[in-house]
Structure 1
Amino acid sequence: MISLRRLAIAAAACLAFSASYCVANPVVDTPAGKLEGRSDGAISVFKGIPYALPPVGQLRWKAPSPMPRWQGVKSAAAYGSACMQPISKLPNIYTDDPGPLSEDCLTLNIWAPADAKNAPVFFWIHGGALVGGSSSERMYDGAKLAAHGVVVVSINYRVGVFGFLAHPELSAESPLGISGNWGILDQIAALKWVKQNIASFGGDPANVTIAGQSAGGLSVMYLLASPEARGLFAKAIAQSAYMITTPELKEAKYGLPSAEQSGVALAAALHKPDIKALRAMDAEELTTAAAMARFSPFGAVDGHVLKRQLVDTLDAGEQAPVPLMAGFNSGEIRSLRILAPAVPASASDYEAVIRDRYQDLADDFLRLYPGSNMQESIFAASRDALYGWTAERLVKKQTRLGQPAYLYIWDHAYPAADSVGLHGFHAEELPYLFGTFDRVGPYWPKVPETPEERSTSEVLMSYWVSFMRTGKPEAANAPVWPAYDATSAYLAFQQSPQTSTHLMPGMYDLVEKVVCRRRASGAQPWNWNAGLAAPKLPAKTAACN
């Protein structure tokens, strides 16, 4: 627990000097070592805590190694470096300064009420397409969320080529014969650190909720599926997750090369003969070169960290049996237009392509995504194939396990976003969740500081905190959020929360049929290839209606 004796002594010294500005720093003595943080009002803040040894030199592309207990009192006043990542030269609404970059980046941050005792723990995994992002992003400041009585933890994990490179030589180094899932193993190592140490901050190690948005939501699914993470968390929240095809470690399948083949191809593109040569490369040079070579970081089905495809894990009921919340945003693709195919010259052209690609399911597709408004249909089809179907599939399968599961859609409007065509855009809910309207990036549509928007933020935080605490999302002066169950219930975050049933009728069934046929064929991924970008649909089989 936070050292009350140290606080009392420091406070007395402050009073003797000048009570007007002297504030004692919180100190904790954890199994990992002693830490000195900072006070933010009633919240104690600890930043840049190392949870594993730096994965540099010969530890590059190794599973994270536990950090030995340090001696003395370690300062936890500043964020650690962000993990190595390319910096975009073209600004967009997600652009923000990640700060210093380093391979020595396996750190986490904690915001805890000063009087916390057995408090729920919120374990936040940042997004960034598994390419970038950082726990130090200003929008993820956990103070306001922690003020609701929870301990907030945010983590860094290896991304890009450092987090997800698989290669036959790396697999040969492993006793299990596997490689590639370094970033997922980092997340698991951070969860193990939390389990061992969070009680010292007033958190309950038996009540940890893993949560993340976008690639953070994908990471939540990886953790739900991974046997290595079992028992390290009690609940899960997946925001705008996407259940895409996962490369197999050693076998080309579903139209994708194996993860090891991708690693060999990258080494060849960089003119490096082996892993030794890749380890010798400067980290920044390697980051840039891998991005230029279009290396795509994803988890790998290796039989150990990820035993099988996420869709197969859920179908087999092998995911962690925990309460779950999942949802997506109405305008996901409005801010991710790279995922949206170009609008055809005419509605007849649009319909012709859809009929060619979707075959006997074309009428179902066109009822949901008609040619009368092609741009909106393109946005919606891409959104649903990635995010909508994923959210509903998660709650359906978790319900089947006998666990409470809750579905939502974020469809909230505010002027700065709507005025530039970004209604309900990807990640729009995040400053509401963290209460950080004033900490968004420089190109983010500014959220107005009005009572209405603050009320929306408070309701969202209350639902999330209630779920962390009890497994049931509740908020004062807001609708009861029913579990998905047999009624297919969901909550819509509009100008105020609204409950209903059967979200977007027909959407889930259509995407499920398409994915089923692609899985059965073994030759097509179920990734970004929806609508006009879809390949010709495989024929119906006995297993796929």
Structure 2
Amino acid sequence: MAGFGRRAMWPLGLATLAAPALLRAGTAAAQDGPVARPPAGALRGAAPDGVLAFKGIPYAAPPVGPLRYRSPQRLPTWAGERDATRAGAAPIQTIPPWATWLYDRPAQMGEDCLTLNIWTPALEGRRPVMVWIHGGAWRTGEGVAAGNDGAALARLGDVVVVTVNYRLGALGFLAHPALKDPETRAAANWGVQDQVAALRWVKVNIAAFGGDPDNVTLFGQSAGGTSVANIAPNPANRGLIHKMIIQSGAFLGPPDLPDVAGAAAYAEALAARLGTTVPGLRDAPAEGLHTAELALAREWGAQNGGRVPVLPIADGVVIPAVPRGARLPAMPLLIGTTRDEAVFWYDLLDPEGRRIPGLPSPTDDASLLRMVGALKEGSRPRATATAEAVVEAYRRAAAGRGGATDPNALWMAAYTDLRFRLDALETARRHAASGQPAFLYEFVHPLAGKARGVPHCAEIPFVFGTHTDPYFAAKSGTGPAEVALAKAMMQGWSSFARTGVPSSDEGGAWQAVASGGEGVNLLGGEGGPRRVVPVVRAEELEVWNL
């Protein structure tokens, strides 16, 4: 995996765990930095390259001890100036090989991780606010990863960018009735509750950073995009967000998305493995709990078709309805995917052309049919098409375009559509049909070097303008085409946050999707930063009666 970044990368162990210092003595540089004075308490940040940065800001009490598996608790205001020049600890996590494409090794990890980071052009004014929820399958990621540094986006778009840490893995998404919070009555979705708590903090405090609390765009990718769809429909969150951006969100439904009762057996199995009760998990050492759950997940997934109930669930409290069936609220929506999402897990290469270890692809038609059938039942159980009909439709369409028709290529296309493209298309179509502004995109800019395809996560360095960062330069490219694409995408995302309509200097305002689903804004590739086509993969999508 040479050429992939600043540091050596390997699946993370727990030797790097460290609790962040809540109050640090300011250095001389920090003492000269900008001071914001929100209601939460004074914060001294830094001003690198003309953008003001405030990092490691706690938005809730540390979820440790008796507060583990509790809804986030309000943090008291602090006296004096708090140092906000350094990021807080990342949530406890282990990064699988393919996720190292996006995530560098966190400098520190710990259970005390409920912090957010803010980049702003100035403390005065009322700029649009963009709150980023990172992805990572609800198991990996952090708010200060190289890809989602908010400085370039804040500068070019004249917006306030906020990134959020939230509880991950077994500490953030274990569910059981015995864990029910006595105040909120929630027994699941601790990480989603953290995200909402961060939004509530933004509502109260962001004006002190030059942000407009009445113009907040919630945006996220992958698990973060699904989080947008989880949070927005809940009436309890009304007024916290005003626009939505969903990047490669997988809109889960049964059986992938269980209820509390369906997830309880997993929590009980974890408790038994650690020799305790489910409530006793609050007292287990965090490192041991994390390690034990990873081992359990491997065994559980092997026995249950890969499905492990450590993810958001439809609990009726935090998430009233499953994302696939939920109607998004009446506000502008920007939603889309990458061209080859599945490559990220099944066929990812580094810039030198070496394969990054990933999940096994089908090796012949028989295994392809089995995998497509299982994927269809997990993603779209009501679809009438058989696995044989799906495979035949995809093979015929690929052959007609002169593309590859081997089992691996067909699996990539079917997985991308079933897990991502269909959800984005249907959501955009439904939103437009309800009379709301909806904009649909597909990111088609290929990876650089000897890598191939346009995998999941490929758009993030362009949304944030971080494609030239040493961690991404060899993977994303730094030539004139990439510079133009990053500028157009940052302008598109920030103008959407400002007005509800994405636009850029090159190409002007985007085309909204029609109520029938026509109108896809293609981003990058040979056609330049943006162009519009009526639909993508029309022939394949016919098999789903779309």
TM-score range, shorter chain: 0.7 to 0.9
Find out whether 1:284 has 2:287 as its counterpart: yes
Find out whether 1:404 has 2:437 as its counterpart: yes
Deviation readout 1:498-518 (Å, 9 max, x if unpaired) = 1011222255564478xxxxx
In structure 1, C-alpha distance between the alignment counterparts of 2:267 and 2:370, rounded to whole Å: 39
User: 1:247: which partner in 2?
Assistant: 257
Q: CA deviation at 1:432?
A: 1.1
Helix, strand or coil at the partner of 1:415: coil
1:387 aligns with one of 414, 420, 425: 420
In structure 2, C-alpha distance between the alignment counterparts of 1:32 and 1:153, rounded to whole Å: 16
In structure 1, C-alpha distance between the alignment counterparts of 2:369 and 2:98, rounded to whole Å: 34
User: 2:332: which partner in 1?
Assistant: 323
- Paired residues for 1:3-402 under 5 Å: 24-88=32-96, 92-114=100-122, 116-147=124-155, 148-171=157-180, 173-175=181-183, 177-245=185-253, 247-251=257-261, 258-276=262-280, 278-294=281-297, 296-314=309-327, 319-337=328-346, 338=358, 341-344=361-364, 361=386, 362-363=388-389, 365-370=391-396, 372-402=405-435
1:420 aligns with one of 451, 465, 472: 451
Write the letter of the residue equivalent to 1:436: T
Q: CA deviation at 1:311?
A: 2.2
In structure 2, C-alpha distance between the alignment counterparts of 1:359 and 1:120, rounded to whole Å: 44
Q: CA deviation at 1:273?
A: 2.6
Find out whether 1:469 has 2:510 as its counterpart: no
Q: 8 Å contact 1:489–1:500 — kept in the other structure?
A: yes
In structure 2, C-alpha distance between the alignment counterparts of 1:331 and 1:354, rounded to whole Å: 16
The alpha-carbon distance between structure 1 residues 287 and 153, as it changes in their structure 2 partners (threshold 3 A), is same
Query: Which of these two proteins has the greater Rg computed from alpha carbons?
Result: 1
The alpha-carbon distance between structure 1 residues 425 and 408, as it changes in their structure 2 partners (threshold 3 A), is same
Q: CA deviation at 1:485?
A: 1.8
User: 2:460: which partner in 1?
Assistant: 430
In structure 2, the gaps of 5 or more residues are 1-27, 298-307, 347-357, 377-382, 400-404
The alpha-carbon distance between structure 1 residues 440 and 208, as it changes in their structure 2 partners (threshold 3 A), is farther
Q: CA deviation at 1:451?
A: 2.0
Q: 8 Å contact 2:148–2:464 — kept in the other structure?
A: yes
Q: 8 Å contact 2:119–2:150 — kept in the other structure?
A: yes
Q: CA deviation at 1:141?
A: 1.1
Q: CA deviation at 1:393?
A: 1.9
Write the letter of the residue equivalent to 2:451: V
Write the letter of the residue equivalent to 1:363: A
- Paired residues for 1:497-516 under 5 Å: 497-508=530-541, 510-511=543-544
Deviation readout 1:26-82 (Å, 9 max, x if unpaired) = 101111011100012321110000000001000000000111111011110100000
Deviation readout 1:293-347 (Å, 9 max, x if unpaired) = 1054211211121112222223xxxx32211111111121112115664120xx5
Q: 8 Å contact 1:340–1:378 — kept in the other structure?
A: no
The alpha-carbon distance between structure 1 residues 355 and 237, as it changes in their structure 2 partners (threshold 3 A), is closer
In structure 1, the gaps of 5 or more residues are 1-16, 252-257, 514-545
Q: 8 Å contact 1:208–1:235 — kept in the other structure?
A: yes
Deviation readout 1:238-271 (Å, 9 max, x if unpaired) = 11110122534344xxxxxx12232222222333
In structure 2, C-alpha distance between the alignment counterparts of 1:427 and 1:476, rounded to whole Å: 25
Deviation readout 1:122-153 (Å, 9 max, x if unpaired) = 10011111001101212211111001200000
Helix, strand or coil at the partner of 2:538: coil
The alpha-carbon distance between structure 1 residues 512 and 94, as it changes in their structure 2 partners (threshold 3 A), is farther
Q: 8 Å contact 2:41–2:80 — kept in the other structure?
A: yes
Q: 8 Å contact 1:93–1:445 — kept in the other structure?
A: no
Q: Percent identity?
A: 34
In structure 1, C-alpha distance between the alignment counterparts of 2:309 and 2:539, rounded to whole Å: 32
Give the TM-score normalised by the residue count of structure 2: 0.81
Write the letter of the residue equivalent to 2:475: K
Deviation readout 1:377-436 (Å, 9 max, x if unpaired) = 1100001000101111221222133210011111112432xx223x21111111111111
User: 1:455: which partner in 2?
Assistant: 484
**Number of positions where the alignment pairs a residue of Structure 1 with one of Structure 2:** 476
In structure 1, C-alpha distance between the alignment counterparts of 2:310 and 2:408, rounded to whole Å: 29
Write the letter of the residue equivalent to 2:168: V
Q: 8 Å contact 1:242–1:386 — kept in the other structure?
A: yes
Give the TM-score normalised by the residue count of structure 1: 0.81
The alpha-carbon distance between structure 1 residues 91 and 190, as it changes in their structure 2 partners (threshold 3 A), is closer
Write the letter of the residue equivalent to 1:494: G
RMSD of Structure 2 on Structure 1 (CA): 2.7
Deviation readout 1:94-145 (Å, 9 max, x if unpaired) = 4511121111110000000026511000100111110011012122111110
Q: 8 Å contact 2:257–2:309 — kept in the other structure?
A: no
Q: 8 Å contact 1:331–1:426 — kept in the other structure?
A: yes
